[in-house]
Structure 1
Amino acid sequence: MPSGTPGVSGVSARDRPGAGERLARVVDAGWRPAVLLIACFAAWWIVAAAELVEPYLVPSPGATLDVLTGKTSYLWQHTWVTTYETLLGFAIAVAVGVLAAVVMVYSSTVEKTLYPILLFAQVVPKIAVAPLFVVWLGFGITPKILIAVLIAFFPVVISMVTGLKAVDPEMLQLSATMGAKPWQTFVKIRFPASLPHLFSGLKVAVTLAVTGAVVGEFVGANEGLGYVILQANGNLDTPMLFAGLLVMSLIGVVLFVLVEIAEKLLLPWHASRRDVGATTAF
């Protein structure tokens, strides 16, 4: 049957977008934030060039670029530490968060017991409890990972619980009528239906995990981007401080994009992937 002609069911087949069309979609989705970033950097350059603010407060883009290019190995060493803490904390938060969400959905007793505790843990400022983790666990990598887990855990749990509860009740009744076992219903219906909600939470959680790792480094560390930023702040080395902030932001953006790519690969059927929207990078 020729592509694009009506089929037997009366529904027209859609051609797969070619490389040119996909590129056009990416450009259409990305030119606005690109223009905004260029405008921000232009404003930054104008403020620095006109000396509207003292250089020790706001360095020039050139000075920051010199730090990024001149101290690449130093920044890379600390960037890797923060990235490792972020990824490990995020992975643990996803594993524990998904498991907790499944248990909460299938047990109202657990949900009523655990949900208030999760809410209380979320509203407690992590920067306030971070020193306790350092006292209890030392200055190693463990406190940073734990803080990343605590910050990233809540969005994962909430999004997964929402997704598991958002399944059409008629689908659950149909599976029960057909004799499906609970684990079969979970694997075939509940879990796939919850993935769009889960990925929404993952995109939030992965950026928060970066924040958690850096917060842990602020409290007590001798490596990582948080350590770099603290050292630069103490020495009034604002070019290094800005460089650390830019690299930290880049880590969050890259991880967000990776999660979105995974979402696109795993959920090509979902409505959110059919059109390029404001919150979609691909």
Structure 2
Amino acid sequence: MTDATHSVQDGARTAPARKPPSPNAVLDAVFDNLPAILAIVGCILLWQLVIWAFSVPTFMAPGPVDVLFAFKENAGLLWKNVLPTLMEAALGFVFGNLVAILLAVWFVYSRTAEKAFYPIAVIVKSIPIIALAPILVLLFGNGVAPKIIIAGLICFFPTLVNMVQGLKSASPAMLDLMRVLSASNAEIFWKVRLPASLPFLFAALKIAATSSVMGAIVAEWIGSSFGLGALIIEATYNFRSPLLYATVVIAAALAVVLFFAVSIIEKKVIRWKPVAPD
């Protein structure tokens, strides 16, 4: 049975392994992303030129130079507040996606459960997070728990939808072959359904990685004295625009880092490409 299932799994993949990275991999990556790098640098230069040309007051819209000085002057404050947001986003990402994956597996193997609970998931998703946040604060207090829950809720629905679709996308021919070979449901899941679902899952995880940071920040807006969200509110009310922009840049950078972290894991896990239909 083991040899047969291995051969079935190998049939869903293209045989060639990934080539080892070249010595100039970093340089190649820079050239591959050169258009994006130039576009970002161009936008920053244009931003600074507009600030200088129209003499825009710093409290309204600081230039990149002002934001850079804000980074230097408030490095300790920014670092102190980025860690709580990172923790809330990471825990929300893990728990939200874990619950979504477990529910997706249950839905695929139980049509009754899918009919009963899928609409509830849609209803929860339809509630605006900004409206749900105060309710969670009232229920769980003003600590870390509501922030993690909100970050998890934002991650939950895209992963649930994609994982259900991915598990159902397994080739019917391969499923029939596994049943002919007397494979158990667990063997079918690990050898056929799960590999088929991985591209769908990682597509959702990359969305969730950035959304979890947004969820944590939104949660911090509702009664919090720490984190990037609280720092954004404080900088806004005190007209500290350079600090506000610096905090937003840090939040965006944090989301980008999490996105690329998931992308790197995806490349390590998915070492095959689906065979294109004729």
> Same-fold call, TM > 0.5?
yes
Show the counterpart of 2:12: none
1:27 is displaced (CA, Å) by 2.8
Show the counterpart of 1:216: 219
Superposition map of 1:1-282 within 5 A = 16=19, 18-20=21-23, 22-23=25-26, 25-270=28-273
1:25 is displaced (CA, Å) by 4.6
Please list every run of at least 4 consecutive aligned residues from structure 1 whose deviation after the TM superposition is greater than 6 angstroms.
none
1:223-255 superposed Cα distances (whole Å, 9 cap, x missing partner):
000000000000011001000000000000000
CA contact (8 A) 1:196 1:270 kept: no
| Identity between Structure 1 and Structure 2 (%) | 37
CA contact (8 A) 1:143 1:216 kept: yes
Q: Distance in 1 between matches of 2:221 and 2:98?
A: 26
1:60 is displaced (CA, Å) by 1.6
Q: Which of 1 and 2 has higher RCO (CA within 8 Å, sep 6+)?
A: 2
Q: Any unmatched runs of 5+ in structure 1?
A: 1-12, 273-282
Query: Secondary structure of the equivalent of 1:93?
Result: helix
CA contact (8 A) 1:97 1:156 kept: yes
1:56 is displaced (CA, Å) by 1.1
Question: Counterpart of 1:87 in structure 2: which amino acid?
Answer: A
Query: Secondary structure of the equivalent of 2:68?
Result: helix
1:24 is displaced (CA, Å) by 5.7
Alignment RMSD, CA only? Answer: 2.0
Q: Distance in 2 between matches of 1:243 and 1:233?
A: 12
1:51 is displaced (CA, Å) by 3.3
- Flag the 1:132–1:14 CA change in 2: closer, same or farther, 3 A: closer
CA contact (8 A) 2:74 2:243 kept: no
1:95 is displaced (CA, Å) by 1.0
Q: Distance in 2 between matches of 1:37 and 1:124?
A: 35
Q: Distance in 2 between matches of 1:60 and 1:271?
A: 47
Q: Distance in 2 between matches of 1:264 and 1:271?
A: 14
Residues matched between the structures, number: 262
Q: TM-score, normalised by structure 1?
A: 0.88
Q: TM-score, normalised by structure 2?
A: 0.89
Query: Secondary structure of the equivalent of 1:50?
Result: helix
